[in-house]
Amino acid sequence: MIKKILRPILISIIQIVGLAIIHDCLNHFYPVQHKSVGFGLTIFYTEIIFILSIFAFNFYLEFFKKNIYLIAFFLLILVSIFPLNALEERPMRSLFLIILAVCGFLSSLVLSKFKTKN
């Protein structure tokens, strides 16, 4: 039982750290020229919602196997709300946040499929 609880926590932490490293590396190579407070808040709230939703999704994948694609799509829409609101101000950065969220949920699905095959 402890293994079933620790596995989604560990997977979530690895995904969050990996996506944070990707985000920081790309910001290092392609820096934002004009930083605005509004977009910083968008990134902050997107990170909070992403962390909570990836934890919830990984726990859902561990304990349930029904409607995983529908749940993933719903959580992806939930994470994408703030970047979609900032799409007019910073279109490339907003798309970047949405793509990172898609990669996070896809990696959860791939790891779940790989785990069930073994």
CA distance 117 to 111: 10
Residue at 30 is within a domain: no
CA distance 45 to 40: 9
Residue at 27 is within a domain: no
CA distance 16 to 50: 9
- Binned at pLDDT 50, 70 and 90, residue 34 comes out as low
Please give the residue range of the domain that contains residue 90.
Answer: 37-113
Residue at 31 is within a domain: no
Residue at 80 is within a domain: yes
The string of pLDDT tens digits covering residues 76-85 is 999 999 889 8
pTM: 0.83
Residue at 5 is within a domain: no
* Number of domains the chain contains: 1
Instruction: Write down the mean pLDDT value for the chain.
Output: 85
Top pLDDT among 72 and 112 is at: 72
